[in-house]
Amino acid sequence: MKVPVYYSIKSLFQRKISTAMTIASFALVVIVLLALLAMVQGVNATLISSGAKDRLFAINRNTTTENQSLISARDIPVLSMYPEIKIGKNGLPIISKEMVRTSYAEYGKEKKIQVNFRGVDLPKALRVHYNVQLVKGRFFDPSSTEEVIVGQNIYNAMGLHVGDRFIANGYRWRIVGVFTDNGSPFESEIWTSVNNMILGFDIHDYSSVWMVATNPKQMSRLIDKINNNPNIFVSAISEKSYFAQGAVAAEGFQALTWFIAIVLSIGAIFSAINTMYASLADREGEIGVLRAIGYQYRAVQWATLLETVIMALLGWVVASVLVFFLQGITFRTPLTGLGYVSFKVTVTPLLLVTGFVFSLVMGIVGGWLPSRHAAKIPIVEALNG
């Protein structure tokens, strides 16, 4: 014979304060878990899904990132001669020679933000980075010595407007436009002309050469040809693979998230154990009556376990509601080679299911010992209690 569910629910309200505190401790653990995993989800959504299947780039063979790379001028013409590179309407290979440097942008009253600057030949860059769309202002004038366009994410982070100025590397720059790029890390960069990179950063060598393959199926062949060419000192990698390397850092953060959640859950579990033992001590007589009128010890055990599970799941409900207030919030984190990249907190149904399962496990673990204790109290002793 099963103990009615309403008995377990009613028992929770016998010690309202301790029950509320236990629910809050469960909710705290789950909100931390969901919030951190939502950040990891945002990183993965940006890095893994935004790269183009037919785009690749080459950098110096001794480096792994653009902002550390210098490509020899004699290697660049060789890169444009591969037949696997797509030919544009003008009859020329679709390639873009680019300069990349990381610097602090200083703005407002003693505010600064670290960001990647990218120097490009704009018409060629737009043919390669074909998802770039101007959303505010205009593109920079290549003949201007101060104009830049900024990615949507860095624009939002700086809180400036089109026409505002900032200082980077001791040079004064003016924002003339804002662009997007399908949510990629490029939206966390500042773009200007190659001449301005030479003036502002005193660099004269290109960092990378970006290319578009004729079709994605030829990407691997093209990369192998470039990497195995002994006459050039560069290595090639697809855009998707490059962005995915940044996601490796997110995997480490995800492991740390689970470690933190498990450590916090230990406290929540002990809180649940204390609450349940205190509750059982107050109603030993009730348990004795249940056993005396025919309820088996298993029924009493599961009814007691259900109380802890209910508290854990109520904590999950509270955490799930709160985490939705974080949806879409932007955060920035440094990633190797990509500089400081902006991501959005992303809450998904799978994330909520993960929180539900984690809460369920905490409830079962936290309620197991008290439920066994309740089931094993002798009937006579329980009635006397």
Dump pLDDT digits (tens) for 301-313.
677 778 788 888 9
Same domain, yes or no: 71 and 98: yes
The number of folded domains in the chain is 2
Mean pLDDT of the residues in the chain: 83
Do 32 and 69 sit in the same domain of this protein? no
> Do both 206 and 281 map to the same domain?
no
pLDDT band at 152 (very low <50, low <70, confident <90, very high): very high
> 297 with 181, same domain?
no
Residue-wise pLDDT tens digits, 19-49: 788 888 889 999 989 888 888 887 777 776 6
- Residue range 333-384, pLDDT digits in tens: 766 666 667 777 888 899 899 999 999 998 888 877 776 666 565 554 544 5
Say whether both 114 and 199 belong to one domain: yes
Q: Specify whether 376 is located in the same domain as 250.
A: yes
Residues 203 and 132 in one domain: yes
What's the predicted TM-score (pTM) here?
0.74
Shared domain for 59 and 45, answered yes or no, is no
For residues 261 and 170, membership in a common domain is answered with no
Same domain (yes/no): 123, 152: yes
Looking at the fold, whether 92 and 39 belong to one and the same domain comes out as no
Q: What is the pLDDT of residues 241-293, one digit of tens each?
A: 888 776 666 667 777 788 888 888 888 888 777 776 666 555 555 555 555 55
Predicted confidence at residue 101, as pLDDT, reads: 93
What range defines the domain where residue 63 resides?
55-214
Assign 3-class secondary structure to the chain: CCCCHHHHHHHHHHHHHHHHHHHHHHHHHHHHHHHHHHHHHHHHHHHHHCCCCCEEEEEECCCCCHHHCCECCCCHHHHCCCCCECECCCCCECEEEEEEEEEEEEECCCEEEEEEEEEECHHHHHHHCCCCEEEEECCCCCCCCCEEEEEHHHHHHHCCCCCCEEEECCEEEEEEEEEECCCCHHHHEEEEEHHHHHHHHCCCCECEEEEEECCHHHHHHHHHHHHCCCCCCEEEEEHHHHHHHHHHHHHHHHHHHHHHHHHHHHHHHHHHHHHHHHHHHHCHHHHHHHHHCCCCHHHHHHHHHHHHHHHHHHHHHHHHHHHHHHCCCEEEEEECCCEEEEEECCCCHHHHHHHHHHHHHHHHHHHHHHHHHHHHCCHHHHHHC
Last residue within a domain, chosen from 196, 214, 232: 214
Q: Is 231 a member of any domain?
A: no
What percent of the chain shows pLDDT beyond 70? 81
Residues 204 and 292 in one domain: no
In a domain, 227, yes or no: no
pLDDT of residue 44: 74
